[in-house]
Every structure is written in C-alpha cells, then in structure tokens.
Amino acid sequence: MFEGLSGRLGDVFDKLTRRSSLSEGDVDAAMREVRLALLEADVALPVVKRFIADVKEKAIGQQVIRSVTPGQMVVKIVHDALVAMLAGPDGAAEPDPMALGLDIAQTPPVPILMVGLQGSGKTTTSAKIALRIKTRERKKVLLASLDVYRPAAQQQLAVLGEQTETDCLPIVPGQMPVEIAQRAMKEARAGGYDVVILDTAGRLHIDEALMAEVAAVREIVRPHETLLVTDAMTGQDAVTIASEFNEKVGITGIVLTRVDGDSRGGAALSMRAVTGVPVKLMGMGEKMDALDAFHPERVAGRILG
C-alpha cells in the first residue's frame, strides 16, 4: 500500500544523508510530495494546507527508528494522521462492514432524511439502507420519495422498494414534498413502521429553493439522521456541497458513493474536515447489498495512492 507516496518519498530521502531524527528540511521536502499526493486525490486545497501544517509539526524532530528509512517513517506519520482526521474524535474503524452506525434505536417511527445533489446516489442508497435495516435489525421500514421534480424519481424508488421487498409510500400526483413527508409519517405511525426513509429531490447544483425545501421538510419531520449522499468522484466542490448542506439543513452523517470506482476519494477528507460530520457509510456498487461501514484506513490508503 501507498507505493505511490512511498516511492516518491524514497526518492526525496535518497538524496539526503541519513540522520537519527527528521529535520525540518527533510520534512519540508517530504511535505511537498504529500501535498501533491493529496491534491491529486482531489482533497480541497484549504484542507490540504491544514493537514500539512499539522503533520509537519508532528514529524519534525521525530527519532527515526533504526529498522525503517526516513521515507517509511514519514509515510507512517502521514498515514496515521490521515486516518485520525478521517475517523474523527470517535476513533477507530468500525470492524463490521455491515454495521450502519445510524441513530435508529429511538421511539418509532424514526425518520431518516436523505439529501444531496442529483445523481449522487440518494435513491439507490435509500433502498440499500432500507434493506440493511430490514435484514440486520429486523425492523419494518417505509420508503418515501419526496422528489416531485425529476420525472419518474418516485417510480424509481418504488421499483427499488419492490426489488428489496420494502414498502414504499404510494404516489399521490400533485402533492408537494412537505405534504408527502407528513403523509409518510402518518402512514408510518398507522402502519407500525420502525423507520421511515425520506428520499429528497436533488438538483444539479446547490440552489436556495432546494435548500429551503429540504429545511422545511426537516422542520416538519425532525429526523434522527440527515444523511448527505455524495459521489466519491466529487472534486473540489465537495467542500461547498458539504458546508452548504450542513449550514442550511444540518447533517448528521455523510455517505460516500461509488467508492467501487477508481476515484481516490479525497472528497471524504475534505467533507469530514470542513463540517466535522462523520462519514458513516460507503456505496460500493449498484447492487442493493453494496453498502459498507466507512473504513478510514481503506480510504486513507486510496488517498495516498
């Protein structure tokens, strides 16, 4: 793992004489490579700068253990710092990839609100979460689509509901998102559902109308979890998307989708760093069971290349 960064740092340190501790000059040279690796992985620039400053402080003056090269030593320091930043204050990786890490042990029906831009994977992730809660927690789940703008969006969720054998709120033409949310909660109470997953509409870009609408739904429903779904391919925009949704709507977790693709996933670090909100889940494919608990070590490995 980290052949990319290890190779680069090897080259940097080969040029330097071996010392017993890391000097400021060594660390500066190494940090130039780390900076490039992070930018190539699409981590946002302000986040890269902050990360480099933190790591530099940690690395300077550290004793180089005899059994490793200074390059290996820096890679380890960088890797550990990256994992710590991705994992946040709660610490270590969830050992069980099937765990959801969602706050659903509440008085039913527990609402979960899914938000994000169009095409990020919200609808797919809504159905994946429903399936996981049903099979793993043995809870009764109701899916409801509040997307009244994209043609066939409600139908798409209904199809996924059928595929996962999860109930989906019947479509009533002409209803607006807040009305649908209210109807979903009423139906959930009447039908004895444990969890209601509300899939909101996305837009291609963030706009005020979208934010106001999602905020209005949130006011009515008071969800226990509001999950921002973002494509792992999202580059520098990840910071704006995550901070806008967090400021205007308030999010409790991030789902990173398309982690099965070849993106390096720097968006995870950017979003975690600017919002302080944990990345909880990763979408690992189009299939309904392709959902894993977030794994900081795995993502750190990809970011470092």
Binding residues: 116-123, 199-203, 257-260
Choose the stretch contacting ligand GDP; rule: CB under 6 A; options: 27-35, 54-62, 118-126, 208-216.
118-126
CA distance to 75, 105, 169, 182, 254, per residue, from 269 (Å): 17, 28, 35, 35, 11
Q: What is the dihedral of CA 124, 125, 129, 130, to 10 degrees?
A: -30
How far is residue 187's CA from residue 108's CA, in Å, rounded to a whole number?
12
Nearest to ligand GDP of 9, 227 (CB atom): 227
Per-residue contact string for residues 198-227; x = within reach of ligand GDP by CB under 6 A: ----x-------------------------
Q: Give the footprint of ligand GDP on residues 12-71 (CB under 6 A).
A: none
- Considering only residues 6, 120, 270, 275, which one is a binding residue for ligand GDP as defined by CB under 6 A? 120
Q: Give the footprint of ligand GDP on residues 239-258 (CB under 6 A).
A: 257-258
State how beta strands 167-168 and 110-115 pair.
unpaired
- Considering only residues 6, 124, 234, 275, which one is a binding residue for ligand GDP as defined by CB under 6 A? 124
How far is residue 277's CA from residue 275's CA, in Å, rounded to a whole number?
5
Q: 65-85 burial, b if ≥16 CB within 10 A, otherwise e? A: eeeebbbbbbbebbbebbbeb
Q: Give the footprint of ligand GDP on residues 134-173 (CB under 6 A).
A: none
Q: What share of the chain is helix, strand, coil (3-state, %, to 5)?
A: 50, 15, 40
Count of residues interacting with ligand GDP (CB under 6 A): 18
- Considering only residues 109, 111, 253, 283, which one is a binding residue for ligand GDP as defined by CB under 6 A? 283
Q: Counting contacts by CB under 6 A, is residue 230 touching ligand GDP?
A: no
Q: Counting contacts by CB under 6 A, is residue 123 touching ligand GDP?
A: yes
Cβ at position 115, least distance to ligand GDP in Å: 10
> Assign residue 285 a region: left if phi > 0, alpha if psi is -120 to 50, beta otherwise?
left
Q: Counting contacts by CB under 6 A, is residue 265 touching ligand GDP?
A: no
Sequence-separated (6 or more) residues with CB below 8 Å from residue 111:
185, 195, 196, 197, 198, 221, 222, 223, 224
Nearest to ligand GDP of 34, 214 (CB atom): 214
Binding stretches for ligand GDP (CB under 6 A): 116, 118-124, 202, 257-258, 260-261, 283-286, 290
